[in-house]
Amino acid sequence: MKRYVIGLDYGTDSARGLLVDAATGKETATAVAAYRRWGSGEYCNAEESRFRQHPLDYIEALDTILRQLREQAPEAFSEVAAIAVDTTSSTPCLVDGRMRPLSLREEFADDPDAMFVLWKDHTAEREAAEINDICRCGDTCYSMFSGSHYSSEGYWAKVTHIVRRNPRLAEEAYAAIEQCDFIPALLTGADSMEKMRLGHCAAGSKAMWSERWGGYPPRDFFERLEPLTVKLAEHLPQSNYTSDHLFGTVSAEMATRYGLPTDVRVAVGMIDAHAGAVGAGIRPGRMALNLGTSACHMAVMEPERLGDRVIADVFGQVDGSIIPSLVGFETGMSAFGDLYAWLRRLLMFPIDNILRRSDTIDASTCEALRKECEDKMLVELGRQAEAIELRDDSPFATDWINGRRTPAPDQRLWSSIMGLTLSTGAADIYLAMVEATAFATKAIIDHLAANGVEIGELVAIGGISRKSPLTMQMLADVLGRRVDVSASTQACAMGSVIMASVAGGFHDSVEQAQQALCPPADRSYLPQEERHTLLMRRYEKYRAAAAFTEKLVNQEPYSK
């Protein structure tokens, strides 16, 4: 009897895979594959907030992961019963009638608009503003479940932007599908929309699908927005599925290529942050903090306790997302680790622009020095920041370097650093940024609590939760409560493992699978009362700076 499952996690920079015993949760093999084209910066332009990924990166990553897992544990690999996938979202791509991304066709191979539009791509801000205008003026606010403010990170804003600026692609496109729908289609060989089972998480959280209005917004909504989107909307099925359901079985081609059993079940795709929450053991009263390049703070609640209420200013509120039997809330920050990475990139200026052009050092030494500085920069900043005695008048910052996601989504907002003096150093600025991300987390939790979503426990996952004690202690001190860190180093992939175990028939529900498979916390950060008192005074400065920023931005003409 087959007893193994595979969880695949497609993140921003790389994909990961876990081969796990579905009965015990024991990790038998792990694999990681970086995206080659993305890693070299192809098809992206940060100045335009354009971030695109070629589907070949995803296909090659899948090939690498499956081969690595098979090589590490050939016997277990031959006993795989199910596979589940999570990916970033909203990360849509225009496809033809065979569900093939247009960038896989020769004539569009190098067209960024024919590729997957990554979650953090903000080129569709104008389209998002138009969607919000339509929602405000109509009888139904189709963005009510995304804070009554549709974001440029959302599916329809991105799709509208692409077809509007690229009519040739619009003519060739049959529909647009999310990355979390593409990977299961790739595994199963689904080559028509009739063979697809679109994921409920992405449809409800990112594409304004709701049972309240019978699916996606009606035809007249898209006619008002952009007529080129009408056919794309009409080609999408009105039904979708939670990630504990079956998408299909692995194709004969995939089974032969990788030595998989021919009856491997493939689960419906899921959003990576949601999968991470599941892998961290999220439940009512326990919030999962997914701390990576961005931050997704997720909570769940029993539907009978919520009733028909819609909580304002939340990035996503969807019945059945995250855990199918509960209402899922997705909140968070558009930039978390990206905020720290920005500072590192800024401090790398002399190496990238002076040392690399210097005649006093050879090229290989220069590159070795550059890599060492890049690798150790944030570690050293953190070490020095930990030694700083925080005061009321220490520099402070706001966190919206990539806009605000929650509460009250607004991608126009920008970050700021205040309280600088001639004595301010790099570590002071880094500490202010770490503090700002903790303050933003407090604002999110306070907003949910004020609307009846109780948060009693906090569990963190993601790279930052394991790599930055400074950040984690700051979170505990600002929030005034214990913050646990999940023992799983691949919580998103573990969430997919849990979904695969349910789709594969090993467990009857996601909750049951969580009890059997989720690892416990392996470290905790406790709040320091004296520091919490100081930080609450500084939090008032953060709120004042935030209000000032919003007022200033709203005075400026909208020109993006």
List the beta bridge partners of residue 110: none
pLDDT at residue 409, as a whole number? 80
Domain assignment of residue 510, yes or no: yes
Question: Mean pLDDT across the stretch 442-460?
Answer: 96
Helix ranges (H only) for 457-528 are: 463-467, 469-479, 491-503, 510-517
Domain assignment of residue 298, yes or no: no
Query: Are residues 345 and 272 located together in one domain of the fold?
Result: no
**Residue at token pair 């910052």:** 397
Residue 125 has pLDDT above 90, yes or no: yes
User: What is residue 524's DSSP assignment?
Assistant: E
Query: Are residues 505 and 539 located together in one domain of the fold?
Result: no
Q: What CATH number does residue 154 fall under?
A: 3.30.420.40
Residue 524 has pLDDT above 60, yes or no: yes
Rounded Cα distance, 133 and 144, in Å: 13
Query: Are residues 79 and 164 located together in one domain of the fold?
Result: yes
The predicted-structure confidence for 159-210, as pLDDT tens digits, reads as follows: 999 999 999 999 999 999 999 999 999 999 999 999 999 999 999 999 999 9
Average pLDDT, the chain: 95
Rounded Cα distance, 222 and 163, in Å: 13
Residue 560 has pLDDT above 80, yes or no: no
Q: What is the pTM of this model?
A: 0.92
pLDDT at residue 559, as a whole number? 46
Query: Are residues 247 and 361 located together in one domain of the fold?
Result: no
Query: Are residues 347 and 276 located together in one domain of the fold?
Result: no
pLDDT at residue 2, as a whole number? 83
Query: Are residues 448 and 502 located together in one domain of the fold?
Result: no
Query: Are residues 57 and 121 located together in one domain of the fold?
Result: yes
Rounded Cα distance, 459 and 484, in Å: 5
Domain assignment of residue 423, yes or no: yes
Domain assignment of residue 189, yes or no: yes
Assign 362 a pLDDT band (cuts: 50, 70, 90): very high
pLDDT at residue 555, as a whole number? 84
Residue 356 has pLDDT above 60, yes or no: yes
- What percentage of residues in the chain have a pLDDT greater than 90? 92
Is 21:8 a contact under the CB 8 Å cutoff?
no
Domain assignment of residue 301, yes or no: no
Assign 557 a pLDDT band (cuts: 50, 70, 90): low
Rounded Cα distance, 316 and 309, in Å: 13
Query: Are residues 86 and 155 located together in one domain of the fold?
Result: yes
Query: Are residues 506 and 536 located together in one domain of the fold?
Result: no
Domain assignment of residue 289, yes or no: no
Query: Are residues 480 and 496 located together in one domain of the fold?
Result: no
Count of residues in the chain: 560
Domain assignment of residue 42, yes or no: yes
Tally of domains in the chain: 2
Domain interval for residue 64: 4-280+489-517
Q: Which of 169, 170, 158, 167 is nearest to 208 (CA)?
A: 158
Rounded Cα distance, 167 and 173, in Å: 10
The predicted-structure confidence for 383-403, as pLDDT tens digits, reads as follows: 999 999 999 999 999 999 988
Query: Are residues 445 and 508 located together in one domain of the fold?
Result: no
Domain assignment of residue 560, yes or no: no
- 355's CB contacts (< 8 A; 6+ apart) are 361, 366, 369, 370
The predicted-structure confidence for 256-292, as pLDDT tens digits, reads as follows: 999 999 999 999 999 999 999 999 999 999 999 999 8
407: cis peptide before it, omega within 30°?
A: yes
pLDDT at residue 156, as a whole number? 98
Assign 556 a pLDDT band (cuts: 50, 70, 90): low
Q: Which of 323, 311, 313 is nearest to 284 (CA)?
A: 323
Question: Mean pLDDT across the stretch 127-131?
Answer: 97
Residue 465 has pLDDT above 50, yes or no: yes
Residue 482 has pLDDT above 70, yes or no: yes
Query: Are residues 22 and 147 located together in one domain of the fold?
Result: yes
